[in-house]
Amino acid sequence: MSGPNKNYDPVEVTPLHADEVERTRDEALDAFAKAADLAALQEAKLAHLGDRSPIALANREIGALPPQGRKEAGQRIGSARKAINEAFAARLAILEAEHEERMLATERVDVTLPWHTPELGARHPLSLISEQIADVFTALGWDVAEGPEVEAEWLNFDALNFQPDHPARQMQDTFFVDPPGSGTVLRTHTSPVQARTMLTRKPPIYVICPGRVFRTDELDATHTPVFYQVEGLVVDEGITLAHLKGTLDHFVQSMFGEGLEARLRPNFFPFTEPSAEVDLKCFVCRGASVGNPDRPCRTCGSEGWIEWGGCGVVNPRVLQAAGIDTDRYSGFAFGMGLERTLMFRNGVQDMRDMVEGDVRFSRQFGMEI
């Protein structure tokens, strides 16, 4: 580097000649363009932008110029440096992008490979459907009530207007707890939960009672001695059969689809009067299969309706046994079997699949049905 010399003629300082500055700039631009990778670019950067690079050296010579020449030389050098810096940054961006692309490409994996953490298990569909039904009714403002499975005979039968020697009581195929005379049974339906609810709460009562029940049937494709029911009970002022129909229609639509409805057929149950069977409009064919042999429906057997459960207006004798004022309150109740519901709703063919505990049965449902 030359020392300051006020008497120097600026044109005499060679590195500051316009031609020379242009050449230096072009050499740098050329070197960056030729750099094939980041390492080469770093080398070129050292050569053309480093402390010892021609442009840096030229920059230092500016100070050696007389004041009148410094401005012009400074502008010339400055614009050349800017061009070199910009060219470097542009090339760096390209090369970095290329580098990253190459690197990511080499890190490609087979994302379809399995992993070792345990897979999600599964709920039993009987639990899932029971919870789904509970959700439908809690959304209406009802409560979910539960009770014991070994139950007092009085609550299972007498409180529900099953007379001691009435055939209806015999039809329940009851498991009795030893010794005879213990007055306790395995509950044959979830109705004792209704009786308990009426004994412990004051109306208005709006409850849904899911639970396991027992009858002395042998296990076969359509029967099981241990099965699940869900029952609903409402006791309030002015409750009518129309309210029962409205509730069942809502229930049917929540479980099986919009626009469907329930149908009632007269029947007999000791705890309701009037009583009815509940049929459900076939959610598959919606009745289109009836009298239409070209479009048979397996779900409803081309009947258009599916038998679902029983229901009725709570027999005032049942309210009376629970100490509820029958002049003021009336109620309705309904109940259906969950296994049967799963059979037609989810196409389960054989009751035994539901009770044998084969994990494959639960696993096909996962956590939602």
Partner 1 sequence: MRVPLSWLREYVELPAGVTGRDVGEKLVRAGLEVETVDEAGAGLTGPLVVGKVLSYEPEPQKNGKTIRWTSLDIGKDEPQWVVCGADNYAVGDLVVVVLPGAVLPGGFAISARKTYGHVSNGMICSSSELGLGDDGAHGIVVLEPGEATPGDDAIELLQLRDDVLDIAVTPDRGYCLSIRGVAREAATAYGVELKDPAALTVTGAETGGYPVRVDDAQANSVFVTRTVTGIDPKAPSPRWLQQRLVMAGMRPISIGVDVTNYVMLELGQPIHGYDKDRLSGEIVVRRATAGEKLMTLDDQTRELDPEDLLITDDSGPIGIAGVMGGASTEISESTSDVVIEAAHFDPVVIARSSRRHKLSSEASRRFEREVDPALPRYAAQRVADLLAELAGGTIQSDETVIDTQSAPSPVTLRADHAALVAGAPISVEESVRHLVSVGCEVTEVAEGNGTATPAPLAVTAGSAADAGLLTVTPPSWRPDLRDPNDFAEEVIRLFGYDNVPSILPPAPGGQGLTVAQRRRRRIATALVGAGLTEVVSYPFVGDADFDAMGLPADDQRRKTVRLANPLSDEEPSMQTTLLPTVLRTAERNVGRGATDLAIFQTGLVFLPRPDAKPAPLPSVAQRPSDAEIQALNDALPDQPLHLAVVLTGSRTPSGWWGKGQPAGWADAVQVARTVSDAVGVEPVLRNVELAPWHPGRCAEVSVDGKVVGHAGELHPKVCQAFGLPARSSAVELDLEALMAAAPSSIVADPFSSYPVAKEDVALIVPADASAADVRAALAEGAGELLESIRLFDVYTGEQIGEGKKSLAFALRFRAPDRTLTETEVAAARQAAVQVTVDRFGAVQRVG
* Least distance (Å) between residue 57 CB and partner 1: 49
Binding segment for partner 1 (CB under 8 A), chosen from 9-17, 33-41, 54-62, 211-219, is 211-219
Q: 328-367: which residues touch partner 1 (CB under 8 A)?
A: 328-330, 354-360, 362-363, 367
Residue of 115, 128, 42 whose CA lies nearest to 368: 128
The two three-digit tokens of residue 104, written as one number: 């990511």
CA distance 295 to 282: 13
The footprint of partner 1 on this chain (CB under 8 A) covers a number of residues equal to 110
The two three-digit tokens of residue 1, written as one number: 């580097």
Is residue 263 within 8 A of residue 281, CB to CB? The reply is yes
Phi, psi angle pair for 34, to nearest 5°: -85, -15
Residue keyed to tokens 């050349």 = 80
Residue 237 interaction partner, one of Zn ion, partner 1, none, beta carbon < 5-8 Å per kind:
partner 1
126 near partner 1, judged by CB under 8 A: yes
Residue 282 interaction partner, one of Zn ion, partner 1, none, beta carbon < 5-8 Å per kind:
Zn ion
Parallel, antiparallel or unpaired: strands 143-144 and 205-214: parallel
Nearer to partner 1, 28 or 159 (CB): 159
Residue 292 interaction partner, one of partner 1, Zn ion, none, beta carbon < 5-8 Å per kind:
none
Instruction: State whether the Cα torsion 262-231-251-308 is positive or negative.
Output: negative
Residue 64 interaction partner, one of partner 1, Zn ion, none, beta carbon < 5-8 Å per kind:
none
280 burial (CB, 10 Å; 0-12 / 13-18 / 19+) is buried
C-alpha 152 chain-centroid distance? 40
Residue of 75, 164, 126 whose CA lies nearest to 337: 126
Of 7, 68, 117, 349, the residue at the interface with partner 1 (CB under 8 A) is 117
* Least distance (Å) between residue 194 CB and partner 1: 14
Enumerate binding residues for Zn ion (CB under 5 A): 282, 284-285, 289, 297, 299-300
- 50 CB neighbour count, 10 Å cutoff: 12
* Least distance (Å) between residue 347 CB and partner 1: 19
* Least distance (Å) between residue 155 CB and partner 1: 6
Nearer to partner 1, 107 or 165 (CB): 165
Q: 245-264: which residues touch partner 1 (CB under 8 A)?
A: 245-247, 249-250, 261, 263-264
* Least distance (Å) between residue 112 CB and partner 1: 12
Of 75, 222, 240, 292, the residue at the interface with partner 1 (CB under 8 A) is 240
Is residue 55 within 8 A of residue 88, CB to CB? The reply is no
Nearer to partner 1, 227 or 344 (CB): 227
* Least distance (Å) between residue 79 CB and partner 1: 50
Is residue 308 within 8 A of residue 278, CB to CB? The reply is yes
Residue of 163, 188, 161 whose CA lies nearest to 175: 188
Is residue 236 within 8 A of residue 212, CB to CB? The reply is no
291 near partner 1, judged by CB under 8 A: no
Binding segment for partner 1 (CB under 8 A), chosen from 4-12, 13-21, 40-48, 130-138, is 130-138
Q: 146-175: which residues touch partner 1 (CB under 8 A)?
A: 148-155, 158-159, 161, 163-168, 170-171, 175
β partners of residue 278: 264, 309
Of 191, 194, 197, 275, the residue at the interface with partner 1 (CB under 8 A) is 275
Alpha-carbon distances, residue 214 vs 76, 140, 224 (angstroms): 100, 29, 9
Q: 33-92: which residues touch partner 1 (CB under 8 A)?
A: none
369 near partner 1, judged by CB under 8 A: no
* Least distance (Å) between residue 132 CB and Zn ion: 22
Of 282, 313, 342, 343, the residue at the interface with partner 1 (CB under 8 A) is 313
CA distance 130 to 124: 10
The one-letter amino acid at 247: T
Residue 29 interaction partner, one of Zn ion, partner 1, none, beta carbon < 5-8 Å per kind:
none
